[in-house]
Amino acid sequence: DSGVTQTPKHLITATGQRVTLRCSPRSGDLSVYWYQQSLDQGLQFLIQYYNGEERAKGNILERFSAQQFPDLHSELNLSSLELGDSALYFCASSVGAVGNYGYTFGSGTRLTVV
Amino acid sequence: GQQVMQIPQYQHVQEGEDFTTYCNSSTTLSNIQWYKQRPGGHPVFLIQLVKSGEVKKQKRLTFQFGEAKKNSSLHITATQTTDVGTYFCAPSTGANNLFFGTGTRLTVIP
């Protein structure tokens, strides 16, 4: 157990639908990062939040949005889903705004769009 | 994102052989991190290199940061089946190690 909790572990939904992925960072960590990993692909950085504020943005689609709440958990909202959005979505956390001691990843949410 | 190339993309080795993966950047890096992702698992942080020419060892794993801080390597001596997985580098030019390399998938043949 890495200390980063992601729910749900699996999600199957239809095209056009909207889903919310949830992440609770490791205790004491203020930064949350979201990554997308398609089948046999690398890790694509989506977005980072630090202490409730958006800190950095990657190649996140306009259909995707995220936020970090006062208790530091984060949610990634994916809307108007397409088949190509099927992927493993990882959340990671770090103590500070910069991951000097590395990121701690959760086990991921596997999203299947049918 | 940064221009980083990680090679090779795939590597099959016989158990007991050595393995090396390289991460090459077009720009000077402030530091570089390495992660391992087992099949079906999540990435796990291995190490961070900061200094020019730095070499760090973790048992059979040796990590190097180039003198020019533009490239790095991960070398595994005498691979074991437990080394199977994908190895990612995550370079930084100062702000954060947000963008990961493409990864090298290692297969170890018993």
The predicted-structure confidence for B6-32, as pLDDT tens digits, reads as follows 999 999 999 999 999 999 999 999 999
Q: Which residue of B has its CA nearest to A96?
A: B96
Mean pLDDT across the stretch A51-80? 96
Chain B contacts in chain A segment 48-107 (CB below 8 A): 48, 56, 58-59, 90, 92, 97-107
Q: Which DSSP letter does residue A1 get?
A: -
Mean pLDDT, chain A, rounded, equals 95
* SS3 of residue A84 by DSSP: helix
Best mutation target among B10, B96, B97 (most A Cβ atoms within 10 Å) is B96
The answer, for B34 touching chain A at a CB cutoff of 8 Å, is no
Give the model's pLDDT for residue A105: 98
Candidates A2, A42, A102; nearest CB to B103: A42
- Buried/exposed code over B28-44 (b: 16+ C-beta within 10 A; e: otherwise): ebebbbbbbbeeeebbb
- Chain A residues within 8 A of B46 when measuring between CB atoms: 102
Extract the runs of DSSP E, i.e. beta strands, from chain A. 5-7, 10-13, 19-24, 31-37, 44-50, 53-57, 64-68, 74-78, 87-94, 104-105, 109-113
